[in-house]
A and B are shown apart, each in its own frame.
Chain A
Amino acid sequence: MSQTVTESHTDGQIGSASDLHLAAFRFMLWARLLDEKFATLYRAGKIHGGVFLGRGQEALSAAIGVHLNKTDVFAPLIRDAAGRLAFGEPIIDAVRTYMGSALGPMRGRDGNVHRGKPQDGYLPMISHLGAMISVVNGVLFARRMKGIKGIVGAACLGEGATSTGAFHEALNQAAVEKLPLVLVVANNQFSYSTPNDRQFACADLAHKAVGYGVEAHSVAGNDFAACMEVVGRAVARARAGHGPQLVVADLLRLCGHGEHDDAGYIPPDMKNSPLGRDCMKLAEEFLLKKKFTDAAQIAVWRSEAVREIEDAVAQVQREPAPDPFAENWTALATENLSEGRE
Protein backbone atom coordinates (compact mmCIF):
# COMPACT_ATOMS: atom_id res chain seq x y z
CA MET A 1 0.00 0.00 0.00
CA SER A 2 1.10 3.53 -0.64
CA GLN A 3 0.48 4.39 2.96
CA THR A 4 2.06 7.80 3.03
CA VAL A 5 0.36 9.06 -0.05
CA THR A 6 -2.98 7.50 0.64
CA GLU A 7 -3.17 8.61 4.21
CA SER A 8 -2.36 12.12 3.26
CA HIS A 9 -5.36 12.16 0.91
CA THR A 10 -6.52 15.71 1.18
CA ASP A 11 -10.18 15.26 0.47
CA GLY A 12 -10.02 18.82 -0.78
CA GLN A 13 -10.65 19.97 2.77
CA ILE A 14 -7.26 20.93 4.06
CA GLY A 15 -7.37 24.15 5.98
CA SER A 16 -4.29 26.05 4.95
CA ALA A 17 -3.29 26.76 1.40
CA SER A 18 0.22 25.54 2.05
CA ASP A 19 -1.04 22.13 3.18
CA LEU A 20 -3.05 21.69 0.00
CA HIS A 21 -0.13 22.80 -2.12
CA LEU A 22 2.23 20.46 -0.33
CA ALA A 23 -0.16 17.57 -0.71
CA ALA A 24 -0.52 18.30 -4.41
CA PHE A 25 3.22 18.56 -4.83
CA ARG A 26 3.75 15.19 -3.19
CA PHE A 27 1.25 13.57 -5.54
CA MET A 28 3.14 15.15 -8.44
CA LEU A 29 6.38 13.77 -7.14
CA TRP A 30 4.95 10.31 -6.57
CA ALA A 31 3.39 10.35 -10.04
CA ARG A 32 6.59 11.44 -11.75
CA LEU A 33 8.57 8.71 -10.04
CA LEU A 34 5.90 6.10 -10.63
CA ASP A 35 5.81 7.00 -14.32
CA GLU A 36 9.59 6.72 -14.47
CA LYS A 37 9.39 3.29 -12.91
CA PHE A 38 6.84 2.18 -15.50
CA ALA A 39 9.11 3.49 -18.26
CA THR A 40 12.00 1.47 -16.84
CA LEU A 41 9.88 -1.66 -16.60
CA TYR A 42 8.69 -1.07 -20.14
CA ARG A 43 12.24 -0.82 -21.46
CA ALA A 44 13.10 -4.00 -19.58
CA GLY A 45 10.26 -5.77 -21.35
CA LYS A 46 8.38 -6.31 -18.08
CA ILE A 47 5.14 -4.63 -19.18
CA HIS A 48 2.70 -6.03 -21.70
CA GLY A 49 1.57 -3.40 -24.18
CA GLY A 50 2.17 0.32 -23.95
CA VAL A 51 3.16 2.76 -21.24
CA PHE A 52 1.74 6.28 -21.21
CA LEU A 53 3.28 8.98 -19.10
CA GLY A 54 2.06 12.29 -17.75
CA ARG A 55 5.47 13.96 -17.63
CA GLY A 56 4.96 17.70 -17.73
CA GLN A 57 1.26 17.49 -16.90
CA GLU A 58 1.50 16.55 -13.22
CA ALA A 59 0.70 20.00 -11.86
CA LEU A 60 -2.58 20.22 -13.70
CA SER A 61 -3.50 16.64 -12.89
CA ALA A 62 -2.65 16.94 -9.20
CA ALA A 63 -4.55 20.22 -9.01
CA ILE A 64 -7.79 18.57 -10.07
CA GLY A 65 -7.17 15.53 -7.90
CA VAL A 66 -6.62 17.44 -4.67
CA HIS A 67 -9.68 19.61 -5.19
CA LEU A 68 -11.98 16.61 -5.39
CA ASN A 69 -13.50 14.93 -2.37
CA LYS A 70 -13.72 11.19 -2.03
CA THR A 71 -17.44 11.44 -2.65
CA ASP A 72 -16.89 13.25 -5.95
CA VAL A 73 -16.58 11.61 -9.36
CA PHE A 74 -13.36 11.42 -11.33
CA ALA A 75 -12.68 10.22 -14.86
CA PRO A 76 -8.97 10.69 -15.45
CA LEU A 77 -7.26 9.97 -18.74
CA ILE A 78 -3.88 8.68 -19.85
CA ARG A 79 -1.67 11.38 -18.31
CA ASP A 80 -3.22 11.57 -14.88
CA ALA A 81 -1.12 9.47 -12.53
CA ALA A 82 -0.93 12.49 -10.21
CA GLY A 83 -4.66 13.15 -10.19
CA ARG A 84 -5.40 9.48 -9.65
CA LEU A 85 -3.15 9.31 -6.59
CA ALA A 86 -4.67 12.51 -5.28
CA PHE A 87 -8.15 11.08 -5.71
CA GLY A 88 -7.07 8.18 -3.54
CA GLU A 89 -5.81 5.49 -5.87
CA PRO A 90 -3.26 3.35 -4.05
CA ILE A 91 0.03 3.02 -5.91
CA ILE A 92 -0.33 -0.72 -5.89
CA ASP A 93 -3.51 -0.53 -7.98
CA ALA A 94 -1.57 1.29 -10.68
CA VAL A 95 1.28 -1.20 -10.53
CA ARG A 96 -1.03 -4.20 -10.52
CA THR A 97 -2.90 -2.89 -13.54
CA TYR A 98 0.27 -2.21 -15.51
CA MET A 99 1.64 -5.64 -14.61
CA GLY A 100 -1.70 -7.35 -15.33
CA SER A 101 -1.96 -8.79 -11.82
CA ALA A 102 -5.03 -10.84 -11.02
CA LEU A 103 -5.26 -8.97 -7.71
CA GLY A 104 -5.53 -5.53 -9.28
CA PRO A 105 -8.79 -3.70 -9.83
CA MET A 106 -8.88 -4.82 -13.48
CA ARG A 107 -7.71 -8.40 -12.75
CA GLY A 108 -5.55 -8.57 -15.85
CA ARG A 109 -8.64 -8.07 -18.02
CA ASP A 110 -7.64 -4.52 -18.78
CA GLY A 111 -4.33 -2.81 -18.32
CA ASN A 112 -2.14 0.26 -18.00
CA VAL A 113 -4.15 3.49 -17.76
CA HIS A 114 -7.50 1.71 -18.16
CA ARG A 115 -8.19 1.35 -14.50
CA GLY A 116 -10.60 2.57 -11.86
CA LYS A 117 -13.26 1.61 -9.37
CA PRO A 118 -16.62 2.78 -10.60
CA GLN A 119 -18.24 1.94 -7.27
CA ASP A 120 -15.99 4.60 -5.71
CA GLY A 121 -16.78 7.25 -8.31
CA TYR A 122 -13.40 6.58 -9.93
CA LEU A 123 -14.29 5.76 -13.52
CA PRO A 124 -12.04 3.50 -15.60
CA MET A 125 -11.44 5.10 -18.97
CA ILE A 126 -12.18 3.26 -22.15
CA SER A 127 -9.78 4.10 -24.95
CA HIS A 128 -12.30 5.95 -27.06
CA LEU A 129 -11.54 9.60 -26.47
CA GLY A 130 -14.38 11.77 -25.25
CA ALA A 131 -16.46 8.80 -24.17
CA MET A 132 -16.03 9.20 -20.42
CA ILE A 133 -17.57 12.66 -20.15
CA SER A 134 -21.18 11.63 -20.59
CA VAL A 135 -20.61 8.76 -18.14
CA VAL A 136 -19.57 11.33 -15.54
CA ASN A 137 -22.72 13.23 -16.48
CA GLY A 138 -24.73 10.10 -15.81
CA VAL A 139 -23.31 9.60 -12.35
CA LEU A 140 -23.98 13.25 -11.51
CA PHE A 141 -27.46 13.04 -13.02
CA ALA A 142 -28.31 9.94 -10.99
CA ARG A 143 -27.00 11.45 -7.79
CA ARG A 144 -29.12 14.51 -8.34
CA MET A 145 -32.14 12.25 -8.82
CA LYS A 146 -31.28 10.65 -5.51
CA GLY A 147 -31.12 14.05 -3.84
CA ILE A 148 -27.35 14.01 -3.26
CA LYS A 149 -26.00 17.56 -3.29
CA GLY A 150 -22.65 19.34 -3.18
CA ILE A 151 -20.69 16.93 -5.34
CA VAL A 152 -18.79 17.53 -8.55
CA GLY A 153 -17.54 15.29 -11.32
CA ALA A 154 -14.31 15.90 -13.20
CA ALA A 155 -13.21 14.51 -16.52
CA CYS A 156 -9.75 14.99 -17.98
CA LEU A 157 -8.89 15.06 -21.65
CA GLY A 158 -6.40 16.31 -24.15
CA GLU A 159 -7.07 18.98 -26.73
CA GLY A 160 -7.35 16.28 -29.39
CA ALA A 161 -10.35 14.79 -27.62
CA THR A 162 -12.19 18.10 -27.93
CA SER A 163 -12.62 17.30 -31.62
CA THR A 164 -14.75 14.22 -30.94
CA GLY A 165 -18.48 14.13 -31.29
CA ALA A 166 -18.63 12.57 -27.84
CA PHE A 167 -17.02 15.67 -26.31
CA HIS A 168 -19.53 17.92 -28.02
CA GLU A 169 -22.54 15.83 -27.10
CA ALA A 170 -21.47 15.42 -23.51
CA LEU A 171 -20.57 19.03 -22.84
CA ASN A 172 -23.82 20.18 -24.37
CA GLN A 173 -25.70 17.59 -22.33
CA ALA A 174 -24.01 18.71 -19.12
CA ALA A 175 -24.86 22.31 -19.92
CA VAL A 176 -28.51 21.51 -20.65
CA GLU A 177 -28.74 19.63 -17.35
CA LYS A 178 -26.61 22.21 -15.51
CA LEU A 179 -24.52 19.44 -14.05
CA PRO A 180 -21.57 20.12 -11.72
CA LEU A 181 -19.05 18.92 -14.30
CA VAL A 182 -15.46 20.13 -14.52
CA LEU A 183 -13.75 19.38 -17.81
CA VAL A 184 -10.01 19.70 -17.59
CA VAL A 185 -8.41 20.01 -21.00
CA ALA A 186 -4.65 19.59 -21.13
CA ASN A 187 -3.75 21.39 -24.31
CA ASN A 188 -0.31 19.93 -24.88
CA GLN A 189 -0.17 21.22 -28.47
CA PHE A 190 0.00 17.76 -30.02
CA SER A 191 -2.50 15.01 -30.14
CA TYR A 192 -0.16 12.13 -30.71
CA SER A 193 1.76 13.78 -33.59
CA THR A 194 -0.97 16.12 -34.84
CA PRO A 195 -0.29 19.80 -34.17
CA ASN A 196 -3.06 22.09 -33.04
CA ASP A 197 -3.44 23.79 -36.42
CA ARG A 198 -4.61 20.44 -37.81
CA GLN A 199 -6.85 19.80 -34.81
CA PHE A 200 -9.00 22.90 -34.41
CA ALA A 201 -9.39 26.35 -35.91
CA CYS A 202 -10.63 28.46 -33.03
CA ALA A 203 -8.19 30.99 -31.61
CA ASP A 204 -8.49 29.56 -28.11
CA LEU A 205 -10.14 26.34 -26.96
CA ALA A 206 -11.66 28.20 -24.05
CA HIS A 207 -13.82 30.07 -26.56
CA LYS A 208 -15.72 26.87 -27.09
CA ALA A 209 -17.31 27.31 -23.68
CA VAL A 210 -19.36 30.26 -24.93
CA GLY A 211 -21.02 28.12 -27.55
CA TYR A 212 -22.07 25.60 -24.96
CA GLY A 213 -23.18 28.17 -22.41
CA VAL A 214 -20.64 27.08 -19.82
CA GLU A 215 -17.96 28.92 -17.87
CA ALA A 216 -14.35 28.79 -19.03
CA HIS A 217 -11.01 29.10 -17.27
CA SER A 218 -7.60 29.36 -18.89
CA VAL A 219 -4.34 28.61 -17.17
CA ALA A 220 -0.69 28.00 -17.88
CA GLY A 221 -0.65 24.27 -17.32
CA ASN A 222 2.91 24.03 -16.11
CA ASP A 223 2.48 26.80 -13.54
CA PHE A 224 1.74 24.86 -10.39
CA ALA A 225 0.43 27.77 -8.32
CA ALA A 226 -1.78 28.95 -11.17
CA CYS A 227 -3.18 25.46 -11.75
CA MET A 228 -4.02 25.11 -8.08
CA GLU A 229 -5.81 28.42 -8.06
CA VAL A 230 -7.67 28.15 -11.36
CA VAL A 231 -8.67 24.52 -11.06
CA GLY A 232 -9.68 25.14 -7.45
CA ARG A 233 -11.89 27.98 -8.59
CA ALA A 234 -13.49 25.91 -11.33
CA VAL A 235 -14.27 23.09 -8.91
CA ALA A 236 -15.71 25.55 -6.42
CA ARG A 237 -17.90 27.14 -9.10
CA ALA A 238 -19.24 23.76 -10.16
CA ARG A 239 -19.82 22.74 -6.56
CA ALA A 240 -21.67 25.96 -5.87
CA GLY A 241 -24.16 25.24 -8.64
CA HIS A 242 -22.85 27.32 -11.51
CA GLY A 243 -22.98 24.43 -13.95
CA PRO A 244 -20.23 22.91 -16.06
CA GLN A 245 -16.78 24.45 -16.06
CA LEU A 246 -14.27 24.15 -18.86
CA VAL A 247 -10.63 24.49 -17.84
CA VAL A 248 -8.11 24.83 -20.65
CA ALA A 249 -4.48 24.48 -19.64
CA ASP A 250 -1.66 25.19 -22.07
CA LEU A 251 1.42 23.06 -21.64
CA LEU A 252 3.69 20.58 -23.33
CA ARG A 253 4.04 16.90 -22.69
CA LEU A 254 7.67 16.26 -21.90
CA CYS A 255 7.62 12.75 -23.29
CA GLY A 256 6.28 10.81 -26.22
CA HIS A 257 2.65 9.92 -26.69
CA GLY A 258 3.67 6.59 -25.20
CA GLU A 259 7.05 5.19 -24.40
CA HIS A 260 7.27 3.82 -27.93
CA ASP A 261 7.24 7.37 -29.31
CA ASP A 262 10.26 9.72 -29.28
CA ALA A 263 8.09 12.80 -29.94
CA GLY A 264 10.45 13.94 -32.67
CA TYR A 265 7.61 16.04 -34.06
CA ILE A 266 7.79 18.55 -31.17
CA PRO A 267 9.99 21.40 -32.44
CA PRO A 268 13.00 22.24 -30.23
CA ASP A 269 12.07 25.92 -30.00
CA MET A 270 8.75 24.94 -28.54
CA LYS A 271 10.47 22.76 -25.97
CA ASN A 272 12.72 25.69 -25.09
CA SER A 273 9.85 28.16 -24.82
CA PRO A 274 8.02 28.88 -21.54
CA LEU A 275 5.50 26.23 -22.61
CA GLY A 276 8.21 23.61 -22.29
CA ARG A 277 9.21 24.36 -18.72
CA ASP A 278 8.83 21.44 -16.36
CA CYS A 279 5.98 21.86 -13.89
CA MET A 280 7.89 19.84 -11.28
CA LYS A 281 10.68 22.37 -11.28
CA LEU A 282 8.29 25.31 -11.21
CA ALA A 283 6.38 23.74 -8.34
CA GLU A 284 9.51 23.10 -6.35
CA GLU A 285 10.69 26.67 -6.90
CA PHE A 286 7.31 27.98 -5.83
CA LEU A 287 7.21 25.94 -2.63
CA LEU A 288 10.75 26.88 -1.68
CA LYS A 289 10.22 30.56 -2.45
CA LYS A 290 7.06 30.59 -0.37
CA LYS A 291 8.92 28.67 2.33
CA PHE A 292 6.15 26.09 2.41
CA THR A 293 8.89 23.48 2.65
CA ASP A 294 12.61 23.05 2.18
CA ALA A 295 14.93 21.06 -0.04
CA ALA A 296 15.76 18.54 2.66
CA GLN A 297 12.09 17.70 3.15
CA ILE A 298 11.60 17.27 -0.58
CA ALA A 299 14.56 14.89 -0.65
CA VAL A 300 12.93 12.85 2.12
CA TRP A 301 9.66 12.67 0.21
CA ARG A 302 11.49 11.63 -2.88
CA SER A 303 13.19 8.73 -1.16
CA GLU A 304 9.94 7.73 0.52
CA ALA A 305 8.25 7.67 -2.84
CA VAL A 306 11.00 5.63 -4.43
CA ARG A 307 10.86 3.10 -1.61
CA GLU A 308 7.09 2.76 -1.79
CA ILE A 309 7.13 2.34 -5.52
CA GLU A 310 9.93 -0.22 -5.40
CA ASP A 311 8.10 -2.12 -2.66
CA ALA A 312 4.88 -2.13 -4.64
CA VAL A 313 6.60 -3.37 -7.79
CA ALA A 314 8.47 -6.06 -5.86
CA GLN A 315 5.24 -7.22 -4.26
CA VAL A 316 3.31 -7.31 -7.52
CA GLN A 317 6.09 -9.22 -9.24
CA ARG A 318 5.57 -11.99 -6.68
CA GLU A 319 1.81 -12.05 -7.21
CA PRO A 320 0.06 -14.64 -9.34
CA ALA A 321 -0.70 -13.86 -12.95
CA PRO A 322 -4.32 -14.29 -14.06
CA ASP A 323 -5.19 -17.93 -14.72
CA PRO A 324 -7.15 -18.57 -17.94
CA PHE A 325 -8.57 -21.73 -16.38
CA ALA A 326 -9.94 -19.80 -13.44
CA GLU A 327 -11.72 -17.30 -15.70
CA ASN A 328 -15.45 -17.79 -16.12
CA TRP A 329 -15.29 -16.31 -19.65
CA THR A 330 -18.60 -14.56 -19.42
CA ALA A 331 -19.10 -10.85 -20.02
CA LEU A 332 -22.54 -10.78 -18.42
CA ALA A 333 -23.48 -10.28 -14.80
CA THR A 334 -26.45 -12.56 -15.45
CA GLU A 335 -24.55 -15.80 -15.92
CA ASN A 336 -27.50 -17.85 -17.08
CA LEU A 337 -27.92 -15.50 -20.05
CA SER A 338 -24.33 -15.93 -21.06
CA GLU A 339 -23.44 -17.71 -24.28
CA GLY A 340 -20.44 -19.84 -24.95
CA ARG A 341 -19.69 -21.03 -21.44
CA GLU A 342 -18.33 -24.54 -21.39
Chain B
Amino acid sequence: MRITIDQDRCVGAGQCVLVGPDLFDQRDEDGVAFVLTDGPEGAAGGPGEEHRAAAEEAARVCPAAAITVAGTER
Protein backbone atom coordinates (compact mmCIF):
# COMPACT_ATOMS: atom_id res chain seq x y z
CA MET B 1 0.00 0.00 0.00
CA ARG B 2 1.33 3.46 -0.85
CA ILE B 3 0.28 6.54 1.11
CA THR B 4 1.08 10.01 -0.13
CA ILE B 5 0.48 13.43 1.42
CA ASP B 6 0.25 16.62 -0.61
CA GLN B 7 2.24 18.69 1.87
CA ASP B 8 1.42 21.96 0.13
CA ARG B 9 -2.23 21.46 1.05
CA CYS B 10 -1.82 20.08 4.58
CA VAL B 11 -3.30 22.43 7.19
CA GLY B 12 -1.67 20.67 10.12
CA ALA B 13 -4.89 19.69 11.85
CA GLY B 14 -3.40 16.33 12.85
CA GLN B 15 -6.50 14.24 12.17
CA CYS B 16 -4.31 11.70 10.35
CA VAL B 17 -2.09 11.30 13.41
CA LEU B 18 -5.14 10.70 15.62
CA VAL B 19 -6.59 8.08 13.30
CA GLY B 20 -3.33 6.40 12.27
CA PRO B 21 -0.61 7.10 14.84
CA ASP B 22 1.51 4.27 13.36
CA LEU B 23 1.31 5.74 9.89
CA PHE B 24 1.53 9.52 10.27
CA ASP B 25 3.36 12.20 12.20
CA GLN B 26 3.66 15.98 12.03
CA ARG B 27 6.86 17.96 11.49
CA ASP B 28 8.03 19.76 14.63
CA GLU B 29 8.77 22.99 12.79
CA ASP B 30 5.40 23.63 11.14
CA GLY B 31 2.96 20.81 11.93
CA VAL B 32 2.87 19.57 8.32
CA ALA B 33 2.13 15.84 8.21
CA PHE B 34 4.36 13.12 6.76
CA VAL B 35 4.13 9.37 6.34
CA LEU B 36 6.23 7.39 8.79
CA THR B 37 8.53 5.45 6.49
CA ASP B 38 10.37 3.70 9.27
CA GLY B 39 7.03 2.79 10.80
CA PRO B 40 5.00 -0.29 9.94
CA GLU B 41 6.75 -2.93 7.87
CA GLY B 42 5.99 -3.36 4.22
CA ALA B 43 9.39 -1.97 3.24
CA ALA B 44 9.54 -0.48 -0.24
CA GLY B 45 5.86 -1.10 -0.89
CA GLY B 46 4.90 1.15 2.04
CA PRO B 47 2.88 0.08 5.09
CA GLY B 48 1.32 -3.38 5.08
CA GLU B 49 -2.28 -4.07 4.11
CA GLU B 50 -3.33 -4.44 7.75
CA HIS B 51 -3.02 -0.65 8.00
CA ARG B 52 -5.32 0.04 5.06
CA ALA B 53 -8.41 0.76 7.16
CA ALA B 54 -6.58 3.37 9.23
CA ALA B 55 -5.00 4.90 6.14
CA GLU B 56 -8.34 5.19 4.38
CA GLU B 57 -10.02 6.64 7.46
CA ALA B 58 -7.24 9.25 7.62
CA ALA B 59 -7.77 10.11 3.95
CA ARG B 60 -11.50 10.47 4.65
CA VAL B 61 -11.19 12.78 7.67
CA CYS B 62 -8.25 14.87 6.39
CA PRO B 63 -9.76 18.37 6.12
CA ALA B 64 -7.45 19.30 3.25
CA ALA B 65 -8.09 16.11 1.25
CA ALA B 66 -4.30 15.87 1.14
CA ILE B 67 -3.94 12.11 1.71
CA THR B 68 -4.04 9.51 -1.06
CA VAL B 69 -3.96 5.78 -0.47
CA ALA B 70 -3.00 3.60 -3.43
CA GLY B 71 -1.27 0.39 -4.34
CA THR B 72 -2.17 -3.29 -4.82
CA GLU B 73 -5.30 -4.97 -3.54
CA ARG B 74 -8.35 -2.96 -2.76
A and B form one complex: no
